[in-house]
A and B are shown apart, each in its own frame.
Chain A
Amino acid sequence: MTEPLPEHPLDLLYSETEEDLRAAVRALLTDRAGHQVLLDRIETESPYAPGLWKSLAADIGAAGLLVPEKLGGQGASHRETAVVLEELGRAVTPLPYLSSAVVATETLLDLADGSEAAAGLLAELAGGRTVAVLAVPLSTAPGAEFPLTGPVPAVADAPAADVFLVPRADGLYAVPAAEATVEPQTPLDLTRPLARVTASVGGTRLAGPDAARTAVRRGLLSGAGLLASEQLGLAEWCLEETVRYTRERHQFNRPVGSFQALKHRMAQLWLDLVGARAAARAAADALATGSPDAPLLVAVAQAYCSKTAVRAAEECVQLHGGIGMTWEHPAHLALKRAKSDQIALGATGRHQDAIAALVGLEPPL
C-alpha cells in the first residue's frame, strides 16, 4: 500500500458568528427578495434591486467580509462569505455578490500590496459603493489561460458593473463601465444577467502579466470554492420545498410524500446534501486558512456540489408535477440557476481534470 495522501486539519462546523450573519442575511432576503418579488422583477429590464444591494453590501457589511479592516473591509474570511452565499443561493437572489464581493475582490486583494489603484478600488468594493466584474466568460475555470482577445461573451453581472477588471496581454486593467461596450445577452439563468463586453483599450493598469495571472487565478479559485456554498443553499431550498409540498399534496387518498418511491428519492437527496455541506465547508475553510489543500478541496466541492444542486432542482420540478413546470412557481428559477452554476467557474470535467493532476490519477497514455 502506498502512503495515504496528505490532508490538513479542517473546521467543518458553523460558528455562532456565522449563524448570526446567516440570520441577518436570511431576514433581509425573506423580507425584500422573496420568490414572488423575484418572479415580478425578472419581467422588468434588470432583475437587480440597487436598494437591496446597498442593504446587503453596505449595511450588513457583506461586501467587505474578505477584505482586511485596514483595507476598508470587515476582516472576516471565506467561511463567513460562504454563509452569505448559502443564503443568496437559497433565495436565488439576483445580486452581483459572487462576481464583485468574491471574484473581483480576491483578485484585487492579491494586488493591493503593490498597487495603490488596486487598493483604492478594493476599498470601494468592500464598502459596497462600487461593483466590479472580472471581464471573463462565466464558464472560466481557475487556471484558465489568458489573455482573451476581442469581445468577451457571457460576462456575468456585467450590466450591474461600474468597473471591469480586464486581463490583457500586458497585464490587468481597471476599465470604467462607461468606457466599455456592454451588449446584454439573454441568459438561461434569469437571475444572473450576462453580457458581451468589449473593453480592449484604455483604463488603469493594475498589474503586469505575471502578477495579473496569479491574481486572476486566486479570484477564480475563491469564486469556484464559494460557488459551492451557493449551490448548497439552493439545493437545500429545493429539498425543503419538495418535502413540504409532497407532505401536503394528496393523490390516491394519500399524501404523495408517503409513496416510497418518492420518499427514497428525497432521502437520497438529503444524503447528497450531507455530502455537499461537508464539501462546501471544507472548501471555504481551506480557502480561509490558506491551506495548501485548497485547490484540491475547491475542485472536489465544485465537482460534487454542481451535480447535487442540479439534481435537487430537477427533482424539485419533477416531484411538484404540473406545478413544477409553471412560470409562477419558483422551482424554475432554482433549476435555471443550478444548471448555469454547473457551467460557471469551470464545468465538472475541468474540475475533475484538476483533481486527476493534483492527486496523481493520470489519464490513459
Chain B
Amino acid sequence: MTDAEELRARTRTLLEEHPPATTDRTDFLRARFDAGLAWVHYPVGLGGLDAPRALQSVVDAELAAAGAPDNDPRKIGIGLGMAAPTVLAHGSDEVKRRFLRPLWVGEEVWCQLFSEPGAGSDLAALATRAVRDGEDWVVDGQKVWTSSAHTARWAILIARTDPDAPKHRGITYFVCDMTDPGVEVRPLRQITGEAEFNEVFLTGVRIPDAHRLGEVGDGWRVAQTTLMNERVSIGGSRIPREGGMIGKAATTWRERPELRTHELHRRLLDHWVDAEVARLAGERLRQQLVAGRPGPEGSAMKLAFARLNQAISGLEVELLGDEGLLYGEWEMRRPNLVDFTGRDAGYRYLRSKGNSIEGGTSEVLLNIVAERVLGLPPEPRNDKDVAWKDLAR
C-alpha cells in the first residue's frame, strides 16, 4: 500500500531526476507517467501505483509547488474523463499500454463518437453499423455534436453489430482511428458563432478487432462506464468561493456601481447563495469520496451547475444593460478548448445553454435521480424486447 509519505518521496525523486526548469514539457510528462505519478490510483505500469485516489492531491501539490508543467486536463478532458476509465476497465493489456500514456501526456486528443442524428437521449437507438470483415470491422454511419473531432487522434465509438437483437443488446464498443480515410469531419457552427463540435461521417472505416473494448454485443454495458465517468468528471472539479460564473457577475457588480438596481441586487444575492451552496455540496461530495463513501450526489452536481450557470450568466447580461446588447464577435472559430467562463457575458450566456444538454440533458438526469436515487417507478417503455430493426423510426 502506498502512503502519502512514499508518494511525496517519489515525487521529489521525479523532480530531481527531471528538473522542470531544464526538462522539455513532454519529456517531463512522460517521465511522470512512467513514475506512476500521473493518476496514482491506476495500476503500476499504466501511469499509477494502485494507490488510493485521494492521494493524488499530495502529488499534485508537490508538483505545483515545484512549478512542474501539467498535462492541460481541460484540453484533453474527453480522453481523461471518459476514454481512459473505459480503456482501463475494458481494454486488453496491449490496448491499455498503447493508448493510456499518450492520452494522459496529451500527445493524443480523444473525442466521443456516441450521439447520432436519430439517437441522442435515446443513445441505444443508434444506427451506425459495424460489420465484421476478417480481422477488421467495417463501419458506416453518421455521428453528430462531436466535440473536438477536429483535433482528435482517436475516438471512442459505439456502433450496431446486431440489428436483430433488442436495441441495448446489439451494440459494440470500439476505439476508432480518426485518421482513417473513411472519417470525414465537418464543423457544425453553434449558437455562440464558433464551432467546437462537428458532424462526423463514417464511410467504410476499418477498425481492427484488437481495438474493440469489451465483448461483441456488450457495448451498451461498456458505454455505461463512459457515461458514469462523464457525469462525475463534469461536476467533479474543485472550485474556490466565487469561482465560476458567480465570480464574473460579482466582479462586474463591484466594479460598476452605476449599473446596480434593487431588483438585480436581490437576484444576485439569491444566485450568490445558490453558488456557494453548490460549491459546498461539491466539497462534501469530494470528502465522501475520500472517505470511501461515494454518494449519489455526483449526478446532482451537473444539474445544479447547469441551472446556476444559466441563471447567473443571464443576470449578468441584464446587469450590463446597453453593453449587454452587444456581443464580442460572431466570427466562425474552431476552438481547441471550451472556456465556459471566458470571453464576454453574452458568450457565457449562450454557451451555458449547452450545460443542460451536453453529457445528458437535465431532463434525463432528473429521470435518473428519480429512479435510481429515490426509487420511483421507471418510465413505461415499449422498446425493450423488440429487435432494433423492427422499431419505429
Contacts and interface: CB of A to CB of B under 8 A. Distances in A.
Are A and B associated in one complex? yes
B369 A270 contact: yes
Interface in B240-269: 240-243, 247, 250-251, 253-254, 257-258, 260-262, 265-266, 268-269
A362 interface: yes
Interface string B350-376: 000000000000010011011101111
Contacts of B127: none
Given A275-B304, A364-B260, A264 B370 contact: yes
Interface in B368-387: 369-371, 373-380
A304 B271 CA distance: 10
Nearest to B379: A260
A361 B269 contact: yes
Contacts of A255: 377
Contact of B300 (A5, A239, A254, A271): A271
In this complex, the member of B270, B273, B280 whose beta carbon has the largest number of chain A beta carbons within 10 angstroms is: B280
Interface stretch (B21-29, B96-104, B224-232, B284-292): B284-292
Contacts of A303: 269, 273
Contacts, number: 145
Q: Give the bracket for the number of chain B residues in contact with chain A.
A: 35 or more
B88 interface: no
B277 A300 contact: yes
Given A12-B287, A247-B375, A362-B257, A274 B297 contact: yes
A275 B377 contact: no
A271 B362 CA distance: 12
B377 A247 contact: yes
Given A263-B371, A361-B272, A243 B376 contact: yes
A282 B291 CA distance: 17
B273 A304 contact: yes
A219 B365 CA distance: 42
Contacts of A270: 300, 369, 373-374
A205 B236 CA distance: 54
A11 B288 CA distance: 10
A115 interface: no
B240 A7 contact: yes
Interface in A210-248: 239, 243, 246-247
A258 B274 contact: no
B68 interface: no
A246 B371 CA distance: 13
B62 interface: no
A13 B377 contact: no
Contact of B291 (A13, A243, A364): A13
B123 interface: no
A11 B287 contact: yes
A268 to B, nearest CB: 7
A100 to B, nearest CB: 29
Nearest to A352: B269
B283 interface: yes
Contacts of A13: 284, 287-288, 291, 293
A266 B370 contact: yes
Contacts of B269: 303, 352, 355-356, 361
B37 interface: no
Contacts of B297: 274
Contacts of B366: 263-264, 267-268
Given A4-B242, A263-B366, A279-B277, A243 B374 contact: yes
B380 A258 contact: yes
A250 to B, nearest CB: 10
Contacts of A117: none
Nearest to A275: B277
A251 interface: no
A295 to B, nearest CB: 13
A7 B265 CA distance: 23
A321 interface: no
A365 B260 contact: yes
B280 A254 contact: no
A2 B283 contact: no
B175 interface: no
Contact of B265 (A247, A258, A260, A363): A363
B374 A267 contact: yes
Contacts of B300: 270-271, 274
B276 interface: yes
A352 to B, nearest CB: 4
Interface string A289-314: 00000000000100110000000000
A281 B276 CA distance: 13
Interface string A277-292: 1110110000000000
Contacts of B200: none
A4 to B, nearest CB: 4
B315 interface: no
A361 B250 contact: yes
B303 interface: yes
Contacts of A359: 242, 250, 272
Contact of A365 (B241, B257, B266, B373): B257
Contact of A267 (B251, B257, B369): B369
Nearest to B282: A278
B377 A10 contact: no
Contact of A247 (B257, B283, B376): B376
Contacts of A7: 240-241
Contact of A258 (B240, B369, B378): B378
A40 to B, nearest CB: 31
Interface in A338-365: 352, 355-356, 359-365
30 contacts: A1-B251, A4-B241, A4-B242, A12-B284, A13-B288, A239-B374, A247-B376, A257-B376, A257-B377, A263-B370, A267-B373, A270-B300, A270-B369, A271-B303, A274-B297, A275-B274, A275-B278, A277-B281, A277-B284, A278-B280, A278-B284, A304-B273, A304-B277, A352-B270, A355-B273, A359-B250, A361-B250, A361-B254, A362-B260, A363-B260
Given A12-B283, A260-B367, 4 more contacts: A263-B370, A270-B300, A277-B281, A281-B284
Task: Please list the 8 inter-chain residue pairs (A to B) with the smallest Cβ-Cβ separation, ordered nearest first.
Answer: A263-B370, A258-B377, A364-B260, A4-B240, A278-B280, A267-B369, A278-B281, A12-B284
